[in-house]
Structure 1
Amino acid sequence: MATKKDNTSADMSVEQKLKNLYSLQTKLSEIDEIKTLRGELPLEVQDLEDEIEGLSHRLHKYEEEIEHIKGDIAHKHESIKEAQEMMTRYQSQLDDVRNNREYDNLSKEIEFQSLEIELLRKKINDAERLINLKTGDLEKGRAALESRQQDLDQKKAELDEIVADTKADEEKLREKAKAIETTIEPRLLTAFKRIRQSSRNGLGIVYVQRDACGGCFNKIPPQRQLDIRMRKKIIVCEYCGRIMIDPELAGVKIERPEEKPKRRVSRRKKTEETEG
């Protein structure tokens, strides 16, 4: 069952539908101008937020890696301590050996623990160098994060200022646009929005300018221009698909090019023609 709104918009003349569409386009274009004032700031803010999130994640990973290496170093120090204790124990047992075989075995154990300690210390040194490298990367990352955060705060402040200055106007325009939308039948409104979305300049309905489409500037045949002026049906540009409207209906005053004065024939030429 159709609603009252649908019936009202469907029963409108083509002329009124075109006027409503053009009125809607005017309000939406004003909103687009406000967005243009903001420029690339919203995108820049989003990019900075994404970059900061990525940097924060990377720094957190550095911190985890450093803590893991420090834990590994602490574990190796414990292993060195245990190896030294074993060496001390083996050294004390050398005094009580009963034969050469026991002496050789203990000597090998002492040598093994000594090599193990040397290896562990080498690994600790390597790990400490790695910590220094990662700490350097961490400090650079923190400096970069602080710099990006300052940029973000500045961009956000600029954007908030522009939004604050234009918010009231934008809200009023949006309310007016919504009110106009209620007067347009859903199918036509959907088509208009689809055309607007696919247009680079956001124009879904344009008027004829100098015998051409006001959107893509391709020439419009005289018969099609006449149909547009007749306002009997919705006509779209065959090149760009935008809805066409008569400039007069859109309330736009088009300056017509001045006609060149006709060339006057001199009296002398007329006299010569008469005598001839």
Structure 2
Amino acid sequence: MATQKKTTEVDYSMQEKIIALYELQKIDSRIDEINKVKGELPLEVQDLDDELAGLRSRIEHINAEIDELNTLTKQRKREVDQAKILIANYKEQQNNVRNNREFDAISKEIEYQELEIELADKRLKEYAAGVKAKKAQLEEAEAVVEERTKDLEAKKAELESIEAETAAQVEDFARQADAAKARIDERLLAAYDRIRGNVRNGLAVVTVKRDACGGCFNRIPPQRQVDIRQGKKIIICEYCGRILVADPEAAEV
């Protein structure tokens, strides 16, 4: 069992892994170029989506506040109607009082209900003003939503058009990338991804050109260039941290 070779795994040499890394970098760079055509569109679409979500949440909140003010308005109107009924009853009772003390007591009840009506009327005016202000906010938010929705639809259409034009290319590059990744171990792939994420141009693997690093353009000592050409181990640029490889095109010349 120990001597049986696995059919699902191939033990690639370091040189083969380095070549695969270089191929993967070229593929990823082509994909990066395609993504550059999209420019800021993906971010703009996401920002508009987020803004619209916030605006819709605000509209829901405003509508809830309007509903609450309308509920309070109905409640106050019922209180006014109830107070008016009580006042009418109290005035009828005044016609049947037996003494001044009863008359004064009923008069105080009438005054109290009239004050309740005044307070309710004041609140009703405040609620009406509140509803008016909230409706103005609602109209403003809805107008912004309509405008942003048009912007979002236009940018989505533009983005979808670019993606449709490049879909076949991206799919082909993805297959090529998978084939290259199959020849690279996970540890090396993780390092590659980490370096790509740390550099602005996405170049994690660069060649040595004119005795200099193809990423930062710092001079590479002759002995390190020899090691790079031999491809027996991973050589990292001591200045920018990129993986250095021999230029295959130069080697073929």
1:185 corresponding residue in structure 2 = 185
Change (3 A) 1:171 1:180: same
Query: In the aligned structure 2, how far is the partner of 1:103 from the partner of 1:179?
Result: 102
2:43 corresponding residue in structure 1 = 43
For 1:1-276, what aligned pairs fall within 5 Å after superposition?
Answer: 3-4=6-7, 6-9=9-12, 12=13, 14-247=14-247, 249=248, 251-252=249-250
Displacement after TM superposition at 1:253 (Å): 8.2
Q: Residue 26 of structure 1 aligns to a residue in which SS?
A: helix
Task: Determine if contact 1:45/1:155 at 8 Å carries over to the other structure.
Answer: yes
Gap regions ≥5 residues in structure 1: 256-276
Task: Determine if contact 2:16/2:183 at 8 Å carries over to the other structure.
Answer: no
Root-mean-square deviation (Å): 2.0
Displacement after TM superposition at 1:4 (Å): 4.4
Larger Rg: 1
Task: Determine if contact 1:22/1:205 at 8 Å carries over to the other structure.
Answer: yes
Give TM-score, length-normalised by structure 1: 0.85
Task: Determine if contact 1:5/1:182 at 8 Å carries over to the other structure.
Answer: no
Query: In the aligned structure 2, how far is the partner of 1:17 from the partner of 1:70?
Result: 71
Q: Residue 172 of structure 1 aligns to a residue in which SS?
A: helix
Query: In the aligned structure 1, how far is the partner of 2:16 from the partner of 2:49?
Result: 46
Query: In the aligned structure 2, how far is the partner of 1:131 from the partner of 1:24?
Result: 62
Task: Determine if contact 1:5/1:183 at 8 Å carries over to the other structure.
Answer: no
Displacement after TM superposition at 1:254 (Å): 11
Task: Determine if contact 1:6/1:186 at 8 Å carries over to the other structure.
Answer: no
Task: Determine if contact 1:6/1:185 at 8 Å carries over to the other structure.
Answer: no
Displacement after TM superposition at 1:223 (Å): 2.2
Q: Letter of the 1:52 partner, please give it.
A: L
Displacement after TM superposition at 1:183 (Å): 1.6
Displacement after TM superposition at 1:216 (Å): 1.8
Change (3 A) 1:150 1:123: same
Q: How many residues get paired?
A: 250
Query: In the aligned structure 1, how far is the partner of 2:8 from the partner of 2:235?
Result: 23
Displacement after TM superposition at 1:229 (Å): 2.8
Question: Deviations for 1:46-72, whole angstroms, at most 9, x for unmatched residues?
Answer: 110010000001001101110110111
Displacement after TM superposition at 1:6 (Å): 4.4
Displacement after TM superposition at 1:222 (Å): 2.4
Q: Letter of the 1:162 partner, please give it.
A: I
Change (3 A) 1:66 1:254: farther
Deviates more, 1:224-233 or 1:16-25: 224-233
Displacement after TM superposition at 1:227 (Å): 2.3
Query: In the aligned structure 2, how far is the partner of 1:200 from the partner of 1:217?
Result: 15
Query: In the aligned structure 2, how far is the partner of 1:252 from the partner of 1:237?
Result: 19
Q: Residue 17 of structure 1 aligns to a residue in which SS?
A: helix
Question: Deviations for 1:166-221, whole angstroms, at most 9, x for unmatched residues?
Answer: 01100110011101111223332222222222222111210112322111222222
Q: Residue 206 of structure 1 aligns to a residue in which SS?
A: strand
Query: In the aligned structure 1, how far is the partner of 2:83 from the partner of 2:213?
Result: 89
Task: Determine if contact 1:209/1:254 at 8 Å carries over to the other structure.
Answer: no
Query: In the aligned structure 1, how far is the partner of 2:131 from the partner of 2:251?
Result: 74
